Amino acid sequence: MIHTPSSTTAAARCYLPGATMTESSPTKTESARKPAKKKAARVVPPPSSGEGVADWRTWGGVGAVLVVGVVAWKLLGSSYKGDVETICNGETASGFTLEHDTSKVTAYIRQHLDTPEGNELFSTMSDAKLAEKAKHLQSESSKVGVRSCPLVEAYEKLSAEGEYRADVQHLCSNSAFPHLGEVDDAARLQRLEDWIDQAARSPRTKELAEPLRQGSPADRAKLLRETAAKVNVFSCDLAKTLEGPILPARGTGQPVVRPYAEPQIIGTMKPEDLAKALIQVTPAMNECYKKGLEKKADLEGKLAIKMKIDPAGKVTGIAPAEEAVPDKDTTACLVQAMRGMEFPKNPGPLVSVFIPLELTTTALPTPGAAGAPRASASGTPPLPSGVPSSLARP
């Protein structure tokens, strides 16, 4: 019997220990040799080194284009003429008025100006008076071809109101018409008419001349009070003068600065030493008053000086405590003159002195005459009746 290789191999398989009879089943050795198949994971390849940079460059380019576009649009859409129109329409656009909300109108305009020239124009206007603002803005709006400029009219209206109010304030002030109470009604009226005709700035003030002329003294006083109330002038002292009686004429003596109440001393100082120092400085104080009268012929009033004196007798501090002298230069001159006062030495630490002074050209009453105050131990008149007690307190 002849065996073929294939049959021999098959027979050998049959007799191998542990072998199975199934020819298609692989042996354990063959199974071990074949590696197990694993499911391959999907790997995403990393981006190339230039891809992210390219994206950023793209977005950066888009942003730059947008910025340039906005700037170009802003520049092309902005002009000096546009700024002038913004200023001219400041009230309407902001919703506020110069009369009641000047700061809000101003803030709105500043926030909406686009050119350096427009900002410069508005800054220049801000430093000018109302009438000048109106003229300047009208001139610029005409130059650039802005046909209507409502803010010009607003400035003109405010300027006119200001002039009229200033005139009314003057008409209501007694200091503007000195000694008016000492003349009769005809003379009072004439002085008012002369001022209205020659010095009034507002046409509306001139319209008051005829009603004042036709009314009685009480009517004139009422007219001034009502006019003052309409423009928020809350005091009209002249009205009292117009309806009041004729007052006795004031004296025409020499200009004098004098204590009108007894000076107050806190510390160690003799009243006669203070009186002596006042006498020594009186000529200098009178000179201050004379200079003030050269500028203001009806200058007079009262003030209180408070000073401190050190142990060496030198004035270390001085200032007006209360005053009713309508001239700051005269007050400053008096303070400077009194700063040079010299006193005897004192035990210290400081002496405080309070001196009520009066500036007057009224002739001094003769000593001993009716109504003349008696001198105190310091040589100065006592506190007159009607003088506020606060003036006597240091």
Are 358 and 259 contacting, i.e. CB atoms less than 8 angstroms apart? Answer: yes
**Calpha distance 233→169 (Å, rounded):** 7
What is the average per-residue pLDDT within 126-146? 93
Amino acid 178: pLDDT: 79
Mean pLDDT calculated for residue range 145-160? 95
Residue 149 near residue 268, CB atoms below 8 Å: no
- The pLDDT assigned to 327 comes to 84
pLDDT score, position 132:
94
pLDDT digits (tens, 9 = 90+) for 310-335: 999 999 999 987 666 778 899 999 99
For tokens 């630490």, name the residue.
Answer: 349
Confidence class of residue 255 from pLDDT cuts 50, 70 and 90?
A: confident
Residues 379 and 272: beta-carbon distance below 8 Å: yes
pLDDT value for 4: 44
Please list, in sequence order, all residues whose beta carbon lies within 8 angstroms of the beta carbon of residue 201, skipping any fewer than 6 positions away.
Answer: 163, 166, 167
pLDDT (0 to 100) of residue 302: 86
Q: Is the pLDDT of residue 385 over 70?
A: no
The Cα 164–Cα 157 span in angstroms is 11
Any residues with CB less than 8 A from the CB of 292 and at least 6 apart, and which?
A: 299, 327, 329, 330, 333, 359
Q: What residue type is 169 in one-letter code?
A: Q
* pLDDT over threshold 60, residue 108: yes
**Phi and psi angles of residue 103, each rounded to the nearest 5 degrees, phi first:** -65, -35
Higher-pLDDT residue of 276, 41: 276
- 73-77, 145-149, 262-266, 382-386, range with the lowest pLDDT: 382-386
- Please calculate the CA angle 85-89-90 and round it to the nearest 5 degrees: 115
Q: Could you give the angle at which helices 217-230 and 185-198 cross, rounded to 10 degrees?
A: 40
| pLDDT at residue number 300 | 83
Write the pLDDT tens digit of every residue in 82-97. 999 999 999 999 999 9
Give me the mean pLDDT over the 111-139 stretch. 93
Half-sphere exposure for 221 (CA within 13 Å, toward CB): 14
